[in-house]
Structure 1
Amino acid sequence: MKTLAAGMVVVALGGLAGCASPTVLEGKYSEADGWRKGTVVEIGLATSLKRPSFYDCRAEASDAEGDTPYVMVAFLRNGHPYARAAKLPADAQLQVGDKVYVNFKDCNAPIPKRNS
């Protein structure tokens, strides 16, 4: 009986430790740092994006950036849908529907494509 109880404690502790460990996507995008899997849903000028964005980097856009393209990325955070509006990186060849990583905490973070 004691062996069964000790085994159950070990299994329970292992399960808790697994849930407490940080999630790292592709070995470099930590969820603790704000990275989430997302999908590009819209690309356009800062003022032309239609979808509302909870995490919005357009407030930082100046009038001098009137022709700078922005990207809207939909993602889940704690199981709830959100969107991030961010400046489209010059070297990112993103299209609507692309699967990407997005950092909802950092407006200057890159928006890399996901491998899967």
Structure 2
Amino acid sequence: MLQWCLGCATVYEGRYAFNDGWRKATVEEVDSAARLQGTALSDCRRDASAVQLLSGQFALVSYADFGHLRRRIVTLPPHPRFHAGDTVYIRFRSCSGDVAPRAASSP
């Protein structure tokens, strides 16, 4: 029975498991904490350190959550660079820069 259940878990590109909080998302905007224009109920700037707020990059991303479009402001890792329109994976409950580019062939 356990083997049957393990086969049901969605894993994107072999490493981003849905059950671990990874979701497909689209970057809407990228900027510094102070200059980011978009808003979202879930905003990682609230938990960011002073250093992150001064020098870090943040992104407004949108993703589907059980049929509902959600928006979240996430902390971006220093590399790679992300731009508006990029398709990414995010860990939707993480503010630790858990953002990864999606492969070009990933729908």
Q: Residue deviations 1:41-90, cap 9 Å, x none?
A: 00111132222223221101244432322111111111111122122211
The alignment status of 1:68 with 2:89, answered yes or no, reads no
RMSD, aligned α-carbons: 2.0
Structure 2 distance, partners of 1:85, 1:30, is: 21
| Cα distance in 1 for residues equivalent to 2:33 and 2:12 | 29
CA distance in 2, matches of 1:42, 1:25: 23
Alignment-derived partner of residue 100 in structure 1: 88
Return 5+ residue gaps in structure 2 as ranges. none
**Structure 2 contact 27–61 (Cα < 8 Å) conserved:** yes
1:22 aligns with 2:9: yes
Point out the structure with the larger strand share: 2
- Look up the match of 1:46: 33
Of structures 1 and 2, the larger Rg is shown by 1
Unaligned residue ranges in structure 1 (runs of 5+) = 1-16
Residue 111 (str. 1) matches residue 99 (str. 2): yes
Instruction: State the partner residue of 2:66.
Output: 78
TM-score by length of 2: 0.80
- Number of residues of Structure 1 aligned to a counterpart in Structure 2: 99
**TM-score, normalised to structure 1's length?**
0.74
- Please identify runs of 4+ aligned residues in structure 1 that moved more than 4 A: none
